[in-house]
């Protein structure tokens, strides 16, 4: 039997899932308690320590790991701090990228992507990246199918793609159309001249921002399903994360890390991993790669891995620290903390020195959700966004100095994590 076309809306999906979700009978509770009542709990070594000792051990471990991580990131990831420019914000349900001046709070729209955008068209402005000289903002306009009431319109498809906007004039031009309106991941080279696009099902494409023709590069082995790509700091290599086989609806998604030599166009496999790896990034000196890797026994949990470019593991996997970002001068780290216990009433933005000291709260609020933070190019401020459902007076883009003073709301629209702080052009 073949299905007639079913237009998948949020409401339909919710109804279908609700049909499946049923309530348990009393016998299930009885069975669980009966089974567990005759089972002994193994005593964990961790529990042998009392609470005070556990806390001390954790603090010491954190300081040791924090210091090591600080040294690593300071040595490999820091760059010279330029001057602060405007903040470019994307997000959903908008028709153009917005630039906000962090000094005055004034904002301006860049030119509109496509010709027929309206707020009802459910477009997402994401992957916002500034060129190193601060003169251009690159961003991807994708359609969000979940909100579409009648499928993509011609106007929507007209607007979707990877765009470049001139920061001074606001003029935009299309760099790349995206397959069916969904844009893949891309990154920019350190000199701002090249863009690499992970083309799912077609290897990677290197796009010149200076007018040279684009270049397709095939991956090693049989895969072509690149989903992340990142230039090395010297612009000579590209790290690529790719699925080992075409994505299957029901099958596992294993992936591998490949390295492309840009001069020869040759790709080699660095690591083949179980499950899907994420967030590949280069060390500042280009000798190491870091990425997130799912844990074997629990694919929903991730560990941070660091490998040499030949695939040698140089650091044992450590618990992932999602959301930690480091300032361009390598002095500070910042992260969003969303702690329990329920009912989840303590959301925080923290800044600390990279050696783990002086960890302090920059913002604390009782409601979900925080996105970001991102450091200013000079490393003295953090920007983050707040989305409080049903409270537009609270939502928006915010800015604070790293000591927590000078907290300001820059704009009322919430860009989620789709924003970037540009260097001064």
Please list the residues that pair with 366 across neighbouring strands: none
Nearer to another protein, 51 or 80 (CB): 51
Closer to another protein by CB, 45 or 115: give it: 45
Question: Which helix (H) or strand (E) segment is 215 a member of?
Answer: strand 215-217
> Helix, strand, or coil here: 398?
strand
Ordered strands of the 91-92 beta sheet: 91-92, 123-130, 136-143, 161-166, 172-176
- Say if residue 369 is preceded by a cis peptide, omega within 30 of 0: yes
Of 2 and 264, nearer to another protein (C-beta) is: 2
- Closest approach, Cβ 318 to another protein, in A, equals 14
CB of 249 to another protein, least distance (A): 5
CB of 257 to another protein, least distance (A): 17
Q: Counting beta carbons within 10 angstroms of the beta carbon of residue 349, is it exposed (0 to 12), middle (13 to 18) or buried (19 or more)?
A: buried
User: Considering beta carbons, is residue 32 or 75 the nearer one to another protein?
Assistant: 32
Closer residue to another protein, CB minimum distance, 44 or 168: 44
Q: Where are the beta strands (DSSP E) in 327-380?
A: 332-337, 347-353, 360-365, 370-375
Smallest distance, another protein to C-beta of residue 105, A: 26
Cα 262 to Cα 101, 205, 224, 234, 238: the distances in Å are 37, 11, 17, 11, 7
Nearest to 281 by CA among 324, 208, 228: 228
Whichever of 126 and 192 has its CB closer to another protein, that residue is 126
Minimum Å gap between C-beta 54 and another protein is 8
From CA 384, how far away is CA 124, in angstroms rounded?
18
**Shortest Å distance, C-beta 25 to another protein:** 9
């Amino acid at each position: 039997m073949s299905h007639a076309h079913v237009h998948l809306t949020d409401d339909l999906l919710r109804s279908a899932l609700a049909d499946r979700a049923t309530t348990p009978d009393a016998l299930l509770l009885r069975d669980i308690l009966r089974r567990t009542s005759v089972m002994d709990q193994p005593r964990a070594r961790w529990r042998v320590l009392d609470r005070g000792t556990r806390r001390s051990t954790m603090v010491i471990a954190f300081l040791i790991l924090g210091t090591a991580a600080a040294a690593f990131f300071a040595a490999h990831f820091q760059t010279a701090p330029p001057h602060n420019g405007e903040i470019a914000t994307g997000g959903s349900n908008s028709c153009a990228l917005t630039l906000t001046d962090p000094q005055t709070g004034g904002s301006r729209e860049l030119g509109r992507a496509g010709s027929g955008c309206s707020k009802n068209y459910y477009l997402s402005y994401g992957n916002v990246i500034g060129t190193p000289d601060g003169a251009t903002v690159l961003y991807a306009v994708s359609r969000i199918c979940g909100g579409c009431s009648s499928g993509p319109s011609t106007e929507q498809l007209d607007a979707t793609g990877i765009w470049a906007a001139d920061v001074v004039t606001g003029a935009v031009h299309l760099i790349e159309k995206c397959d069916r309106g969904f844009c893949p991941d891309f990154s920019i080279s350190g000199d701002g001249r090249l863009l690499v696009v992970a083309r799912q099902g077609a290897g990677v494409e290197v796009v010149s921002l200076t007018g040279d023709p684009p270049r397709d590069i095939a991956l090693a082995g049989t895969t072509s399903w690149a989903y992340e790509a990142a230039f090395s700091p010297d612009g000579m290599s590209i790290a690529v994360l790719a699925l080992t086989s075409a994505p299957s609806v029901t099958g596992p998604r294993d992936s591998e890390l490949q390295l492309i030599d840009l001069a020869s166009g040759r790709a080699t496999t660095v690591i083949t991993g179980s499950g899907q790896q994420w967030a590949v990034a280069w060390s500042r000196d280009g000798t190491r790669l870091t990425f997130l890797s799912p844990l074997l026994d629990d694919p929903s949990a991730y560990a941070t891995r660091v490998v040499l470019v030949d695939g040698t593991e140089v650091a044992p996997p450590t618990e992932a620290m999602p959301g930690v970002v480091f300032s361009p001068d390598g002095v500070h780290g910042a992260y969003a903390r969303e702690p329990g216990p329920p009912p989840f009433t303590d959301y925080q933005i923290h800044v600390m020195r990279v050696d783990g000291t002086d960890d302090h709260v920059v913002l604390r609020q009782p409601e979900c959700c925080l996105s970001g933070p991102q450091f200013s190019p000079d490393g003295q401020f953090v920007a983050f966004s707040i989305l409080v459902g049903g409270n537009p007076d609270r939502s928006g883009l915010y800015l604070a100095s790293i000591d927590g003073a000078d907290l300001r709301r820059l704009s009322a629209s919430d860009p989620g994590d789709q924003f970037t702080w540009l260097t001064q052009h």
